[in-house]
Amino acid sequence: MTVYNYIALKNSKDIVKGKIEADDLRQARESIRNLGFIPTKVYEEKSKDDAKVASKNVKAKRISRLGLQDRIDFTSTLQILAQSGIPIIESLMFIENDAAKLKVRLVAKELRRQIMAGSTFADTIAKYPEQFGQIYIGLVKAGEDSGELEKTLSRLLDLQTKEANIRGKVIGTLMYPAFVILLAIVIVLVMLMFVFPVFKDMFDNMGKDLPWITQTLMDIGVFLRENWYLVPLILGSIIGTIVFLFKWQPSKRKIDAIALKIPLISDLVQFANFSNFISVLQVSYDAGVPIIECLYLSNLTLTNYTLKLKVDDATAKVQQGQHLSVALRSTRVMPKMILFMIATGEQSGRLGDMLMQAVNFIDKKLDNIIDTMTKLIEPIMLIVIGGIVLTLALALYLPLFQSYMVD
């Protein structure tokens, strides 16, 4: 008989620890269930040296990167099974066998392998920060330590669903102008490469100097038609340069700072960033994570460098003993209503409830900003397309108008 240490849940909320003798791990888990407990961690009692050797032997294998929707599916299934009282290993085995996507099944298989070797769920996913992210890992650890893993998984599911919704709204808002810009580029290229060269002989026979706009577009069109292979290279270079500028840290920092100075764009950036920030702050605070750790996890959601830097400074002030609301107010970037709610929550001892109210406020505000931007984009795009069409039309017909006027 082997002695096993166990950590289990009593009445689905109280944490109990103990030892039990069994022939193998499966029998140990069954014996713990017979005691009326839900096992969360069961491992063979070993000496420290043996534990170190076992830890070295169980190496983390490389697993596929999970997208946001993959993590939502994985967490949703895990939360439903945990809520039903099914232990983590059995839950992972179900995902391993029945998940729709192969990479999710492989992730579940590797996690189950390591947990069966004696690791906890939190410690196992901590080995894969690129796949799950520090926020996911931090909240799971907090939930496991407090014995509320089921509630934490539910909070994580809500958090990821909210992130997916915000991302979908922002992408949906940008899809229309992106499509219009792409269409405009195609129209301009077709006009320059196929329409303008057709008029070249006619304009040459007129024997007069062409207007500068006509001559410029004509030269560009002839050049692109003769060197058509340069078109994809030029477009690729432009797209590559834009992507590089948004990823290269020095240029990204300047772009982030400029974005906060543009009306409406500034509101979109601020509220989109702080929507995730406050959501993670609320979820981690309710999970029992210390406030400094809450701020650290929340700051990971900020994508704007300027906002991230200011909140980092606020986190340092909180660590030095300042109130959360006072520290965040010093950033001068947090919406005043949010600051008021946080200050009220601190004074009344209901910070968790007020953070939830702040999340609802930001979500409504963000929806209004996105609606406003959507309404503004349509006339702006019409003006842009109209300007392009007018320029091309003038370039083609100005020489004709000049010829008629002279005659």
Which residue would you say has higher pLDDT here, 8 or 253?
253
Strand, coil or helix: what is 10? strand
Domain boundary among 57, 72, 102: 57
Q: Does residue 73 fall inside a structural domain?
A: no
**Which pLDDT does position 257 carry in this prediction?**
92
Residue 1's pLDDT band, with cuts at 50, 70 and 90, is low
**Which pLDDT does position 19 carry in this prediction?**
80
71 C-beta neighbours (distance < 10 Å), count = 21
Residue 17's pLDDT band, with cuts at 50, 70 and 90, is confident
Residue 195's pLDDT band, with cuts at 50, 70 and 90, is confident
**Mean pLDDT of the region 275-297:** 86
| Greatest mean pLDDT among 58-62, 197-201, 344-348 | 344-348
Q: At what angle do helices 351-406 and 196-205 cross, to 10 degrees?
A: 30
**Mean pLDDT of the region 319-347:** 90
pLDDT of 3 above 50? yes
Same domain, 47 and 169: no
Helical residues (DSSP H) of 99-211, grouped into ranges: 102-116, 121-125, 129-132, 134-146, 149-190, 196-205
Residue 344's pLDDT band, with cuts at 50, 70 and 90, is very high
Same domain, 194 and 331: yes
**Mean pLDDT of the region 226-245:** 89
**Mean pLDDT of the region 155-159:** 86
**Which pLDDT does position 406 carry in this prediction?**
53
Dihedral angle sign, alpha carbons of residues 150, 296, 103, 168: positive
Block residue for tokens 């940008």 = 174
Give the C-alpha distances (Å, rounded to integers) separating 179 from 190, 241, 377, 385: 17, 19, 12, 12
**What element of type H or E holds 9?**
strand 2-10
Same domain, 254 and 388: yes
Whether this model's pTM surpasses 0.75: no
Residues 6+ apart with CB under 8 A from 36: 10
Structural domain of 48: 1-57
Average pLDDT along the chain: 83
Q: Does residue 353 fall inside a structural domain?
A: yes
pLDDT of 314 above 80? yes
Residues 6+ apart with CB under 8 A from 72: 157, 160, 161, 164
Q: Does residue 392 fall inside a structural domain?
A: yes
Which residue would you say has higher pLDDT here, 236 or 29?
236
**Which pLDDT does position 55 carry in this prediction?**
43
Residue 357's pLDDT band, with cuts at 50, 70 and 90, is very high
pLDDT of 49 above 60? no
Domain boundary among 57, 83, 104: 57
Residue 48's pLDDT band, with cuts at 50, 70 and 90, is very low
**Mean pLDDT of the region 222-240:** 88
**Which pLDDT does position 13 carry in this prediction?**
57
Q: Does residue 83 fall inside a structural domain?
A: no
Give the CA diameter of the chain.
111
Number of domains within the chain: 2
Which residue would you say has higher pLDDT here, 55 or 151?
151
Q: Does residue 279 fall inside a structural domain?
A: yes
150's tokens = 């089921």
**Which pLDDT does position 122 carry in this prediction?**
85
Domain boundary among 57, 89, 105: 57
% of the chain beyond a pLDDT of 90: 13
On the 0-12 / 13-18 / 19+ scale of CB atoms within 10 A, 109 is middle
**Which pLDDT does position 252 carry in this prediction?**
92
Which amino acid is present at 162?
A: K
Give the C-alpha distances (Å, rounded to integers) separating 316 from 51, 309, 363: 37, 11, 27
Q: Does residue 271 fall inside a structural domain?
A: yes
Q: Residue 164 maps to which CATH number?
A: 1.20.81.30
In 23-174, the DSSP E strands lie at 37-44
Q: Does residue 116 fall inside a structural domain?
A: no
Which residue would you say has higher pLDDT here, 302 or 49?
302
270's tokens = 């601020």
% of the chain beyond a pLDDT of 70: 92
Q: Does residue 277 fall inside a structural domain?
A: yes
Interatomic CA distance for residues 210 and 276, integer angstroms: 56
Which amino acid is present at 305?
A: Y
**Which pLDDT does position 310 carry in this prediction?**
92
pLDDT of 177 above 60? yes
